[in-house]
Amino acid sequence: MNNDAQFDQLARRDTELSALASRGRRRMLLIMILAFIPSPFVIMATNDNVDLAAFIPLGIVIVVAMSYSWAKWQRRPEDSQSVAFVGLDRKRRGATYRSMLGRRRIDDPVVLTIVESIHHHLRRTVVVVVATIVLIAASTLALFAASGDGVTLWVAAAVLVLAGGAIAGHRWVLNRSGSVIEPSHR
């Protein structure tokens, strides 16, 4: 392949990645909004508090989290490529899931670029992610202990299972993406 053909291929791939990242940002924003909608009602139910003024800080946190995520997705290319996966259509996402489950090669060069970006990002941040999950689990247990009711065995087990599942999921995606990338380059 000559240099002009390679340049054209890379330009088309970059254009498609930009379009996928844009679609992925919109979809992720919608997912975040839909995920945040029930939070005031869950807090009202768990705290027996129906005062809506108490949710002003929660609303501020939600707006800040969404604007930070949006700015980060636009500013950092590696995050944009990770969010681009959400922008893929259902057929391409399904093919990627099947490739990851079966450890088979990925033939779509755009999807392969996205998976490589996700793999590189996960490998680079593994220590920070695991430490963060462990600290969140410890903080959750400390909050339950400080609440006056104490930490029951079921609460501790649930927190540990959720933290272990999050860490195991991170490791699974990291390992599977690594095992799919190499055969895809052959």
Q: Where are the domains of the chain?
A: 1-87, 89-186
* Banded pLDDT at 182 (limits 50, 70, 90): confident
Q: Residue 47: CB partners within 8 Å, gap ≥ 6?
A: none
Please give the pLDDT value at position 52: 73
Asked if 20 and 109 touch (Cβ cutoff 8 Å), the reply is no
Q: What percent of the chain has pLDDT over 90?
A: 20
And the tokens for 182? Answer: 């190499």
Give the long-range contacts of residues 22-28, CB within 8 A, separation 24 or more.
22/87, 23/86, 23/87, 24/73, 24/80, 24/83, 24/84, 24/85, 24/86, 24/87, 24/88, 25/70, 25/73, 25/74, 25/80, 25/83, 25/87, 27/86, 27/87, 28/69, 28/73, 28/83, 28/86
Question: CA separation (Å) from 3 to 7, 8, 11, 60, 136?
Answer: 6, 9, 12, 51, 50
Stretch 159-181: mean pLDDT: 92
* Banded pLDDT at 22 (limits 50, 70, 90): confident
Helix (H, G, I), strand (E, B) or coil at 50: coil
Task: Establish how many alpha carbons lie within 13 A of residue 67's alpha carbon, considering only the half-sphere containing its beta carbon.
Answer: 6
pLDDT digits (tens, 9 = 90+) for 87-143: 889 999 999 999 999 989 998 888 888 898 889 888 988 999 999 999 999 998 888
The 10 Å CB-count burial string (b at 16+, else e) for 161-172 is eebeebbeebee
Distance CA 88, CA 83 (A): 9
Instruction: Dihedral sign for Cα 17, 180, 101, 160, please.
Output: negative
Asked if 174 and 122 touch (Cβ cutoff 8 Å), the reply is yes
